[in-house]
Copies of this chain bind each other. A is one copy, B any other.
């Protein structure tokens, strides 16, 4: 199943809705609307009670919906089978929201090709530590973007970049997992664009606390989530990135340092994987503009594509100028 989030107008302003996506039929199914019809027509609920039940079952928050466990997919199947024709919208006309609203957004570092390519371009040695433990980081979750959204480009970033990644979406909570059981917590796969300000990384990396202003301005998540049962092999998913319609890199999800099972188990050590969490797979080799010496410009359109998922398209907006920036401190 493919499941995503859209915005719909309401008397109180825009509201988020969960949708089942059927690209082959060119439509999405509004789950809360379909469910309300289902409860009312087939289960004899009153209209008001049917709406209340429908929004409890299918809230606009993907994290809240995933927290209902097996109920989500079981129930979505029932509702889609029952009333999909009465609650469909054209796939081309909907306003996409980020496919999840992650309690914690993380990003990995796992493709050997990108580790080599990035390190060469940044003039950095590959530390032995990257072979000792899986590298990953926590992100801020306040600037997630959905399909077709515009990246708000902070003026302090000169060398803008995209990064082609898959996003592993967590369904079940899990802590202190082992590789043998970690994939039980994986709900599905989306695309993740880890937008980056390359020129800022030179100052952030030596501090050793992870990316801050180089990373936290935009995180593309979408267009939707494809459940894990639709993938035969998590390591042979075709991946591609296009800039203004031109293919820049093509590859697949293989060539990793660590298995997805190991990455999820490692992240779960001592802390919880929470329903709705998104974990970037790390960038595919060649999956950044940096690796091709390409300079991103305002107005450029980047498309990430993954087989079995779809296309996540975002446009770089104009630079936001006039922002404050700190002044360098004296030696201490």
Given contacts A178-B324, A258-B326, A326-B262, A138 and B270 within 8 Å (CB-CB): no
Q: Which of B112, B131, B211, B270 is within 8 Å of A328, CB to CB?
A: B131
Within 8 A of B (CB), among A114-138: 116, 127-138
Residue of B nearest to A153 (CB): B270
Distance of A77 Cα from B196 Cα, bound (Å): 45
Within 8 A of B (CB), among A96-123: 103-104, 106-107, 109, 112, 116
A267 neighbours in B (Cβ, 8 Å): 212
Does A143 lie within 8 Å of B270, measured CB to CB?
A: yes
**A88, CB-defined interface residue at 8 Å:** no
Q: How many residues of A contact B (CB 8 A)?
A: 67
Copies of this protein, total: 2
Contact with B along A164-200 (1 / 0, CB 8 A): 0000000000001111000000000000000000000
A205 neighbours in B (Cβ, 8 Å): 129, 208
Distance of A268 Cα from B272 Cα, bound (Å): 27
Residue of B nearest to A135 (CB): B207
Distance of A152 Cα from B269 Cα, bound (Å): 11
A273 neighbours in B (Cβ, 8 Å): 142
Given contacts A205-B208, A332-B112, A141 and B213 within 8 Å (CB-CB): no
A140 neighbours in B (Cβ, 8 Å): 104, 106, 138, 271
Residue of B nearest to A126 (CB): B332
Which of A103, A116, A138 gathers the greatest number of chain B CB atoms within 10 Å? A138
Distance of A211 Cα from B139 Cα, bound (Å): 12
Distance of A180 Cα from B266 Cα, bound (Å): 42
**A329, CB-defined interface residue at 8 Å:** yes
Contact with B along A297-332 (1 / 0, CB 8 A): 000000000000000000000001001111011111
19 contacts between A and B (CB under 8 A): A109-B207, A129-B204, A131-B332, A133-B207, A133-B212, A133-B326, A137-B138, A137-B209, A138-B139, A138-B216, A142-B271, A142-B273, A152-B270, A209-B210, A209-B211, A216-B271, A217-B270, A258-B326, A269-B325
Identify the A interface with B (CB < 8 A).
103-104, 106-107, 109, 112, 116, 127-143, 152, 154, 156, 176-179, 202-213, 216-217, 257-258, 262, 265-267, 269-274, 320, 323-326, 328-332
Given A104-B142, A217-B269, 19 extra CB contacts under 8 A: A103-B141, A103-B142, A104-B140, A106-B140, A109-B207, A127-B207, A128-B206, A129-B205, A131-B330, A135-B207, A137-B212, A138-B140, A138-B210, A142-B271, A142-B274, A156-B269, A212-B267, A216-B271, A262-B326
